[in-house]
Structure 1
């Protein structure tokens, strides 16, 4: 298995890059989050990789962080999600946004990713439910799980975009009730 690749970046054509390692050019597909953080052509680059062998191809996927690679591996375990879909999800959402969507069981964020429909999004949320944890978004035992989700839905209904609303919800205490959560979230959003 190829776990890591280090060399000189010689080609960039989203989502593919080519890395020259001592005269051999390795083609890697990378999510856009990694692509945007790549150095200029001709500079040294290090990527963590996932090597996938199929009947008709041998594919190398590259990631800037171990967290991205681990998320990619978790996505591959979901029934019906292949490498292309997993790469598309990581290109459309950051790992934190994906974790928040899973914690809040929000299909809306996932369905915005090209190629992910409502049923696939629901399957992703169901199968990844215990795989991600986001501080402040998972409800403690005995608390209703929907408090954070209800606060998020209220903020979205008030016209805030998903990124702003999720950032505000993430700052809430874990034991907050819906009414107090909405008030605290609105207060933090008004300061922004």
Structure 2
């Protein structure tokens, strides 16, 4: 089974992308949340892959992070939810918000996702409520208006990356704290890392 692909992004559309590695082009289906984080074509990317095998086809589904992949694989355990619907759901809601909606039994939020009816939403709550607790590691920092600024898991990942690059723990933490405090937008891992490297290099 293919679990991870690192290669050159040679084509992208909202329907699928093609990543070339070792002379082979792989057609990969991605949720919109991953699509919007993709770089321009002819740049290298790494995607976490779920390989879906049927009698008549093998399909690859790609995700920008292992957390999103884990949520996808959890979604397809629900009765009536196949890979395409799971991909559609993750295009309409972030894993963090999905975890909150399921764990709190927020039926209205779930049925607001295109393709999800009341019965499907009810099955999601019934079958996933206990399971999503294990994935609920998305503690976050909020601004004064209650908007998410950055997830703790992202801060940890960026801090680890900076330390691996040779920066001191204390200095890296100071830079990250400053960026987060001054930011008026939700920070992704890529954005936070780039901002931190820019400050540290300056």
Query: Do they superpose with TM above 0.5?
Result: yes
| Residues 21-47 of structure 1 deviation map (CA, whole Å, 9 limit, x = unaligned) | 122110000111111111110000110
Structure 1 contact 15–32 (Cα < 8 Å) conserved: no
Question: Which residue does 2:37 correspond to in 1?
Answer: 37
| Secondary structure of 1:52's aligned partner | strand
Question: Which residue does 2:122 correspond to in 1?
Answer: 122
| Secondary structure of 1:39's aligned partner | coil
Note the residue ranges of structure 2 that are not aligned, 5 or more in a row.
140-144, 149-202
Structure 2 contact 96–138 (Cα < 8 Å) conserved: no
Is the counterpart of residue 84 in structure 1 residue 84 in structure 2?
A: yes
Structure 1 contact 28–59 (Cα < 8 Å) conserved: yes
Runs of at least 4 residues off by over 4 Å = 134-137, 164-167
Root mean square deviation of aligned Cα: 2.0
Structure 1 contact 48–69 (Cα < 8 Å) conserved: yes
Instruction: From the CA coordinates, give the structure whose radius of gyration is larger.
Output: 1
Provide TM-score, normalisation by structure 1.
0.69
Structure 1 contact 15–35 (Cα < 8 Å) conserved: no
Question: Which residue does 1:64 correspond to in 2?
Answer: 64
Are the structure 2 counterparts of residues 165 and 127 from structure 1 closer, same or farther at C-alpha, using a change threshold of 3 Å?
farther
Question: Which residue does 2:194 correspond to in 1?
Answer: none
Note the residue ranges of structure 1 that are not aligned, 5 or more in a row.
138-163, 168-192
Question: Which residue does 1:5 correspond to in 2?
Answer: 5
Q: What's the offset of the Cα at 1:166?
A: 8.8
Q: What's the offset of the Cα at 1:165?
A: 7.6
Equivalent residues, number: 141
Q: What's the offset of the Cα at 1:15?
A: 3.2
Written as runs of structure 1 = structure 2, the 5 A alignment for 1:1-192 is: 1-133=1-133, 134=136
